Structure 1
Amino acid sequence: MPSTVRTATTADIEACTRVLAEGFADDPVMSAIWPDRRRRHRGVPRYFATSLRHFHLPGGGVQVAIDQHGGLGGVAVWDPPGQWDQPFSRTLRALPELLPALRTRTTAAMAVRRALDEQHPHTPPHWYLANIATPVDRRGQGYAARLIADRLTEAPDTAAYLVCTREKNIRFYEKFGFMVCATFVLPAGANPPMWAMIREP
């Protein structure tokens, strides 16, 4: 069980990247961007490292769950209210690192991003759970639950939003008050459905 939840810093990027890359190696969103499994497993770590450094850590919402021995048990990538829609200037600065990760899949990544953004609510103000992951050997030990519960407890009067990419996880999020508000599919082939979920304040 986690003993501490704290805000991540740039010193945590490498460790967080490992956990996120492991957790999302075969996620439907990542598979839509990189259908080829080998290319996906090469590109995903660089993608997450760049996203953390340029998009998520500056907002101060990324949290990590630490076990009693100081090991990383989980990562939750939250964007604070009003900060989920990244400014073009920030994207431009990230491009030199993003493009080598995406390579020929840049157009596919942009299409996936547009599809996700089209579903994203603009009101009410909300925390956005962009990603959450735990290492394989820590799953089922309460790290993800602790990370979600801590954020929601800190901001009980603010809504929260996420996109659930696997149907089996819907019930997990429902335990925290999230409800499915829309179902949609991503572009680029026969992809499985996604479930937009919101938790009202």
Structure 2
Amino acid sequence: MREIIGDIPPQKAHTSEELMERRVLGAGTNDAERCAEVLAAAFADDPLMAQIWPGSAERKRSLPLYFRTSLRSHHLAGGGVDIAVGRDGDATSVAVWDPPNHWRQPAVSTLRAAPHLLQALGTRVLAALKIRRALDHHHPKPAHWYLVNIGTRPALGGLGFAGALLDTRLAVCDETQMPAYLVCTREENISLYEKYGFRVTEAFTLPASGPTMWSMWRDPETP
């Protein structure tokens, strides 16, 4: 099992001072803890995560271990995890990207992560597996950068930190002429992703009468 996707909050106006204070850093193996902390807070009320853990208390308790395990076992090794930091240097937003042809987690990584993932999922292992299969079924085959997760600390949503993360990685996509893919879990965020060049290619429903998800694809901009 590997990480599930997520969304970024709608943007709001921000000051020129705030714009100057945003920096984007590449995450290393020592950043797993702080990245997981940010993502757990950002996804506490995400529709997809709520489908895995219907109970709010269990979900909030499980998410830090879930994200930490997925980052350490797979995503950080791919070199596509980015952190946005503010004036004080604290992590404000995290974007988890899997590089082209690396979105499927190798069996050895899955086995290594299994004890911690099973601990995080508890009795919801079967539900998580069904959701993972559904997401994999709709995943496009052409090579692409896969935006697995992107999230901002709730108190800092709308200040442009997530946007800075998107701009950074999508610039790499354009430079290398590589498409990008994500799954949007909230309909209200579709228009936001569209501003970054993504378009909806498919809508599908998660198992067990779950919420609707939207596959979104971005072709690289030509020079």
**Both proteins in one fold, TM over 0.5:** yes
CA contact (8 A) 2:84 2:92 kept: yes
Structure 2 unaligned residues grouped into runs of 5+: 1-18
Aligned match of 1:130 in 142, 145, 148? 148
Counterpart code for 2:40 = A
Secondary structure of the structure 1 residue equivalent to 2:69 = helix
Pairwise mapping of residues 18-37 of structure 1 onto structure 2 (< 5 A)? 18-37=37-56
- What is the one-letter code of the residue matched to 1:149? D
SS of residue matched to 2:140: coil
In the alignment of these two chains, the number of paired residues is 199
Q: CA deviation at 1:80?
A: 0.4
1:67 CA drift (Å) = 1.4
Normalising to structure 1: TM-score of the pair?
Answer: 0.96
* Matching residue's letter, 1:39: E
Match among 190, 194, 200 for residue 213 of structure 2: 194
For structure 1, the residue ranges without an aligned partner over 5 or more in a row are none
Shift, 1:17, TM fit: 1.0
Deviation at 1:155, TM superposition (A): 2.0
Q: 2:16 aligns to what?
A: none
Residue identity matched to 1:178: F
Cα distance in 2 between the residues matched to 1:128 and 1:99: 24
Residue 155 of structure 1 aligns to a residue whose secondary structure is helix
Check if 1:100 corresponds to 2:119.
yes
Q: Answer 1 or 2: higher relative contact order, Cα 8 Å, separation at least 6.
A: 2
Residues 47-126 of structure 1 aligned to structure 2 (within 5 Å): 47-123=66-142, 125-126=143-144
Q: Distance in 2 between matches of 1:166 and 1:25?
A: 14
CA RMSD of aligned residues (A): 1.0
Q: After superposition, what is the alpha-carbon deviation per residue over 1:136-176, rounded to whole angstroms, capped at 9, x for unaligned?
A: 12111101111001101122011000000000000110001
1:185 to 174, 194, 205: 205
Are residue 145 (structure 1) and residue 183 (structure 2) matched? no
Partner of 1:9: 28
For the residues of structure 2 that align with 1:102 and 1:128, how far apart are their CA atoms? 23
Question: Which residue in 1 is equivalent to 2:187?
Answer: 167
CA distance in structure 2 between the partners assigned to 1:46 and 1:55 by the alignment: 14
Deviations 1:90-149 (A, max 9, x none): 1011001111101111111110100001110011x1100000011112111101111001
Could you list the runs of 4 or more consecutive aligned residues of structure 1 that deviate by over 4 angstroms after TM superposition? none
**Partner Cα separation in structure 2 for residue 36 and residue 137 of structure 1:** 22
The one-letter code of the counterpart of 2:172 is E
2:166 counterpart letter in structure 1: I
CA distance in structure 1 between the partners assigned to 2:62 and 2:92 by the alignment? 23
Distance in 1 (alpha carbons) for counterparts of 2:197 and 2:68? 30
Q: Structure 1 vs Structure 2: percent identity of aligned residues?
A: 52
Aligned equivalents of 2:92, 2:122: Cα separation in 1:
31
Match of 2:196 among 158, 176, 187: 176
Helix, strand or coil at the partner of 2:200: strand
TM-score normalized with structure 2 length? 0.87
